[in-house]
Amino acid sequence: MNQRTSSVKEQRLLQKAAKYMPGGSNGNMIHMDVVIERGEGSHVWDVSGNEYVDYALGSGPMFIGHAHPDVVKEVQERMTKSSTFFALVEPAIELAEEICSAMPCAENIRYASGGSEATLFAMRAARAYRGRDKIMKFEGGYHGMSDYALMSLAPSNPADFPDPVPDSAGIPKSIRDEMLIAPFNDLETTTALIDQYHDELGGVIVEAFQRVISPKPGFLKGLRDITSHYGIPLIFDEIVTGFRLSYGGAQSYYGVTPDLCSLGKIVGGGFALSAVAGKEEFMKVFDSANSSETGPMPQVGTLNGNPIATVAGLSTLRVLRETAGIYENTFAKGRRLQQGIREVLDKAEIPAQVIGHDALFDVYFTGDEIYDYRGTLKADKSKTIMLNSLLLERGIFKGETKFYVSTAHSDADIDFTLDAFNSAVGEL
């Protein structure tokens, strides 16, 4: 198996990045010694000419592969009409209709540009509707880069529930007072916390499928029941899972309908687009004509629902909607990859867990079961870092913590990946 090379051009670019960009990166901590030039289908190439099977997929949005011809064609056509107008455009309206027909909770939507914005606005909408300040999130849950979201995302020393731990410098201490932290997949503790704080809670936000950890049977339904009991808005963060676990997202896949959800990644087809979607009762806080006691909740964005991103999103969703068996075939490849990885690890007698869904999963080097964030802390992270580096050398490009499987991955890609994994584990 060929080892990757680094050209003079790539080294010069990396030197410029180190000079002009903090830490030599754009903030996304993935293979910072590689400069990617292009992608096609399930493969990407760096500026040195090395080719990789891509399981990062741009951190998830390229679910139907890079440079899909349908998306490219429609975006190119749309580009001739200008990029943005700060006004309503036809593709934004059409995409809104498609999202609302697909997502069980979606009766209205409001666009933004990134996942961090969408989850921030979803939390704000819940607080505006409920007239309460506190938000409950789950330890280890990722909801973007807002001050609220960066509470107990990845604490090395977790606090007692429900106390939050800030994950970043620069967050005001006052934010801690507005966030409550609960353990994912622990319905008993979560219910007790909601019972205790229900009169202060503006909303509860959760990744129905948290990072790569599946919900235990009954957890999401129990969460829906207790929030409904107290009239607390329930938010599903579907930035990752929307249109990935099923066309109707995690809420359709698990059969539990939230009041609000955040969407991103796939819905923008690789362009900057996100959205808050939800039942009209909760979404009316966005209406500038809202005359309720709290008044309207302004949400202005220069690129909200811009025509390029919404055309790319519409085209992407059309491929997913109209291609027979696309989800089943993609999930089958993901299952084969997971099973092959398990067999390699078992043969090498390396204690590890391969956890997640057929569409996204990862390897944790621990012999213990993982069902929440604290379970992931038992894993040997140094082995994960080394494995990712060894895989890169063998032509596999993946994120720090996930294998994303696309509709474009082929059986040959899976075979190549398993050969690379077997070789990497041998060295590991």
Catalytic sites, residue numbers: 142, 237, 265
As given in the structure block, the two tokens for residue 127 are 């607080």
Contact 81, 88 (CB under 8 A): no
Amino acid at 338: Q
As given in the structure block, the two tokens for residue 247 are 């066309």
Selection from 36, 35, 86, 90 nearest residue 314 by Cα: 90
Selection from 361, 354, 353, 352 nearest residue 331 by Cα: 361
Q: What are 247's strand-pairing partners?
A: none
Q: What are 46's strand-pairing partners?
A: 36
Selection from 276, 346, 342, 336 nearest residue 304 by Cα: 276
Is the omega angle on the peptide bond into residue 162 within 30 degrees of 0, that is, cis? Answer: yes
In sequence order, what are the residues at sequence separation of 6 or more whose Cβ sits closer than 8 angstroms to the Cβ of residue 284? 108, 290, 292
Contact 32, 21 (CB under 8 A): no
How many whole angstroms separate alpha carbon 183 and alpha carbon 189? 7
> Nearest 5 degrees, angle CA 264-CA 269-CA 272?
55
As given in the structure block, the two tokens for residue 191 are 């219910």
- For 87, how many CA atoms within 13 A lie in the half-sphere containing its CB? 2
Show contacts of 382-386: CB within 8 Å, 24+ apart: 383/428, 386/428
Contact 341, 354 (CB under 8 A): yes
How many whole angstroms separate alpha carbon 393 and alpha carbon 272? 30
How many whole angstroms separate alpha carbon 392 and alpha carbon 64? 22
CA distances from 381 to 153, 344, 364, 386 (A): 16, 19, 8, 9
* Length of the chain (residues): 428
In what helix (H) or strand (E) does residue 45 lie, and over which residues does it extend?
strand 43-46
